[in-house]
Amino acid sequence: MEMIIVGILLLLIGLAGAPMFSIIGAIGLLAFNAAGTDTSALIIELYRLVDFPALIAIPLFTFAGYLLAESQAPRRLIRLAQTMFGWMPGGLAVVALFTTAIFTAFSGASGVTIIALGGLIYPALLKENYPERFSLGLMTTSGSLGLLFPPSLPIILYSIVSKVNIDQLFLAGLVPGILLLVILSIYSVRTAVKSRVPRHPFVWKNVLVALREAGWEAPLPVIVIGGIYGGIITATEAAAVTAFYVLVVEVFIRRDLKFFSDMPRVLRESMILVGAILVMLGAAMGVTSYLIDEQIPMKLFAIISQYVSSKLVFLVILNLFILVMNMVEIFSAIIIVVPIIVPVAMGYGVDPIHLGVIFLLNLEIGYMTPPLGLNLFLSSLRFEKQLTSVYRAVLPFFLLLLAVLLLITYFPALSLLLTKPAGLQ
């Protein structure tokens, strides 16, 4: 009884806008007190974060992403891609899909793509005669596209929380991520052909000029994504290389950003995000260990398995649950929900890596799910459109992504094709 009252109280305080980390911390303090454990054990759990090799990837990749977003690099990369692929039917739309996916992967998937690249790509799409509704839908989708590719922040966070090897998780996201891009590209080509979008001739000279401009940044996705997939560097090493490389290129070679005025600001802004995530993650470590000690996930599995016996039905219900959770706030969703559902899903025989891909794709879709998905608001703000017209524009993309989600859920092989059989570290 007492517990229920305290629970409702915390829920109300949370709804009133208290920081999530304080709510999670309160739960941890109360749980350890009730179990008769000294609360310093809560901090022992928090300090275990030091033992996660992937942890350092969070500040390093976030810093690199913020630097890139503030520089002129996205502009140069889009120009290069356009000169290379503009000759294809639907060329610009396909270029937009791939470049925004890479940009989102690097910038931590916080919807910043829509703000940073929207002003660049959206008018270009309209100028090339793409339908307005299609262009709006594409831009809204782009805010979270690429979340399955390294080095996106949600993947790193998922791997830390679920204790799944990060390199394996990166590998698992490759095929589903590409499948997603291919299906959206086919849709884009079809739209372009139907609306008679003009095609541009391929000119070698333009490619060379654009290549010279973007020569410093163009190899970066290849090094990072290729290096990780090729097993040449680990994710944490890639983080160090990327942060260092981007810093040198954008500040000292390209000089888009000034060392004394821009650098401290970008560093501060990116570390504010990192700090907010880490303190929430730290507070949740104690709660998670308490839940495991009390065998809460196992008890939950025992209850659920009475009603749901099929693995597939469980996964479909899980999908719906995660979609709703993600509308609240995605980083909190990962930190709070993942430790509970991973053991439950393993009870059903779901591979934790496969579950990771399902979970992350759900996040991606959650961003653009009406009525509360973050991308919808950003898009409506950025392009000065009514929310309802954004809802309509995003619908075909939403349905395509949902179809891919079903495929990924139903065929674990799509995610596990490239990974080693043993999922746990």
Partner 1 sequence: MNALRAFDRALTTVVNAFLMLSFAIMLGLAALQVFLRFFFHSGLLWGDVAARNLVIWVGFFGAYLATRENKHFRVDVLTRLVAPRIRSWLFAGTDLFAAVISYFLFQASLNFVRLGIDPDSVAFLQVPQTVIAMIVPIGFALILIQFLIRTAENVVAAIRRAPNEGDA
Q: How far is the CB of 45 from partner 1 (least distance, A)?
A: 10
Q: How far is the CB of 119 from partner 1 (least distance, A)?
A: 21
Q: How far is the CB of 253 from partner 1 (least distance, A)?
A: 16
| DSSP three-state, residue 90 | coil
Is residue 326 within 8 Å of 338, Cβ to Cβ? no
Q: How far is the CB of 340 from partner 1 (least distance, A)?
A: 18
> Please, which residue, 3 or 12, has the CB nearer to partner 1?
12
CA torsion angle for 163, 166, 153, 358 (degrees, to 10)?
-80
Is residue 331 within 8 Å of 273, Cβ to Cβ? no
Taking the C-alpha atoms of residue 150 and residue 108, their distance in angstroms, rounded to an integer, is: 10
Q: How far is the CB of 275 from partner 1 (least distance, A)?
A: 2
Q: How far is CA 11 from CA 26, 61, 396, in A?
A: 11, 33, 36
> Please, which residue, 52 or 103, has the CB nearer to partner 1?
52
Q: What angle do CA 311, 315, 321 make, to 5 degrees?
A: 145
Q: How far is the CB of 319 from partner 1 (least distance, A)?
A: 22
Site of interaction with partner 1 (CB under 8 A): 13-22, 25-26, 29, 38-44, 46-47, 49-53, 55-56, 58-60, 63, 233, 236-237, 239-241, 243-244, 247, 264, 267-268, 271-280, 282-283, 328-329, 331-332
Please report the DSSP string for 125-169 in residue order: HHHTT--HHHHHHHHHHHTTTTTTSTT-HHHHHHHHHHTB-HHHH
Token pair in block for residue 3: 């517990």
> Please, which residue, 117 or 334, has the CB nearer to partner 1?
334
Q: How far is the CB of 216 from partner 1 (least distance, A)?
A: 17
What stretches of 195-261 show up as alpha helix (H) in DSSP? 204-213, 219-221, 227-229, 235-247
Taking the C-alpha atoms of residue 225 and residue 217, their distance in angstroms, rounded to an integer, is: 13
> Please, which residue, 53 or 123, has the CB nearer to partner 1?
53
Q: How far is the CB of 63 from partner 1 (least distance, A)?
A: 8
Is residue 197 within 8 Å of 90, Cβ to Cβ? yes
- Return left, alpha or beta for 168; rule: phi > 0 is left, psi -120 to 50 is alpha, else beta: alpha
Q: How far is the CB of 268 from partner 1 (least distance, A)?
A: 6
> Please, which residue, 63 or 122, has the CB nearer to partner 1?
63
Q: How far is the CB of 129 from partner 1 (least distance, A)?
A: 37
> Please, which residue, 197 or 266, has the CB nearer to partner 1?
266
> Please, which residue, 119 or 371, has the CB nearer to partner 1?
371
> Please, which residue, 115 or 346, has the CB nearer to partner 1?
115
Please report the DSSP string for 33-78 in residue order: HHTT--THHHHHHHHGGGG-GGGGHHHHHHHHHHHHHHSSHHHHHH
**DSSP label at 419?**
S
Taking the C-alpha atoms of residue 16 and residue 329, their distance in angstroms, rounded to an integer, is: 15
> Please, which residue, 23 or 358, has the CB nearer to partner 1?
23
> Please, which residue, 207 or 279, has the CB nearer to partner 1?
279
Taking the C-alpha atoms of residue 81 and residue 99, their distance in angstroms, rounded to an integer, is: 8
The alpha-carbon radius of gyration of the chain (Å, integer) is 22
> Buried (b) or exposed (e) across 307-333, using 16+ Cβ within 10 A?
ebeeeeebbbebbeebbebbbeebbbb
**DSSP label at 56?**
G
Amino acid identity, residue 31? A
Q: How far is CA 18 from CA 3, 12, 48, 139, 391, in A?
A: 20, 9, 25, 32, 30
Q: How far is the CB of 258 from partner 1 (least distance, A)?
A: 15
> Please, which residue, 14 or 347, has the CB nearer to partner 1?
14
